[in-house]
Amino acid sequence: MTTPRLIWGSLSWRGRLHFRGQALRPRAWWRQALVRRYPELFRYPGWDDPHQSLMAFGFAHGNGWARILGGLARDLRTVAHTTGIQIHVTQVKEKFGTLHVYCGIAPDSPDAWKAVRAVVQRAEQVSARTCEDCGRPGQLMWKDQAWYRTVCRGCAGTAYEPVVMK
């Protein structure tokens, strides 16, 4: 099955080279693909209104968590379909070293909310052992005992060291 791989490779290669006449940075690629694939989660009416949503700030974390976001979006769509609710993702960011995702649902439903919380918490837990930069297995590290990141040894650099819980 080499043909699909070749097609995908040439598409992403073209996308990186130029998009609307501008050079596209590789980091933007998965974010745009995710938003296009799941517009109901990320591009609902009011997504860029800071009173309703902080998605105007985008996916405020590194590329290593792209796969986690892809899985989360797929799971949220499944929850929306099975429960009949609408789900709006209102903020996605790194906080204290792990992924934090905030959502709103309509209409309100305790059961649907429970299902949404479950898939969001699972994604957040996976981020706690996934390098935010490269996606390989990572762990919580800190710099100056204050700045937290979940990264692998290779991406950590010399300033970061593993957090030891006492």
Residues that bind Zn ion (CB under 5 A): 131, 133-134, 152, 155
Measured from the CB atom, is 68 or 152 closer to Zn ion?
A: 152
Measured from the CB atom, is 69 or 155 closer to Zn ion?
A: 155
Q: Find out whether 142 and 160 touch, Cβ atoms under 8 Å.
A: yes
Measured from the CB atom, is 42 or 160 closer to Zn ion?
A: 160
**Considering the complex, what minimum distance in angstroms separates the CB of residue 77 from Zn ion?**
28
Q: Find out whether 138 and 64 touch, Cβ atoms under 8 Å.
A: yes
Measured from the CB atom, is 94 or 133 closer to Zn ion?
A: 133
Beta strands in the chain (DSSP E): 59-60, 86-95, 98-106, 139-143, 147-151, 161-162
- Candidates 160, 128, 133; CA nearest to 144 is 160
**Considering the complex, what minimum distance in angstroms separates the CB of residue 97 from Zn ion?**
13
Q: Find out whether 59 and 132 touch, Cβ atoms under 8 Å.
A: no
Ordered DSSP codes for 13-55:
HHHHH-BTTBPPPHHHHHHHHHHHH-HHHHSSTTTT-TTT--G
Name the β-bridge partners of 4.
none
Secondary structure (3-state) at 103: strand
Measured from the CB atom, is 41 or 131 closer to Zn ion?
A: 131
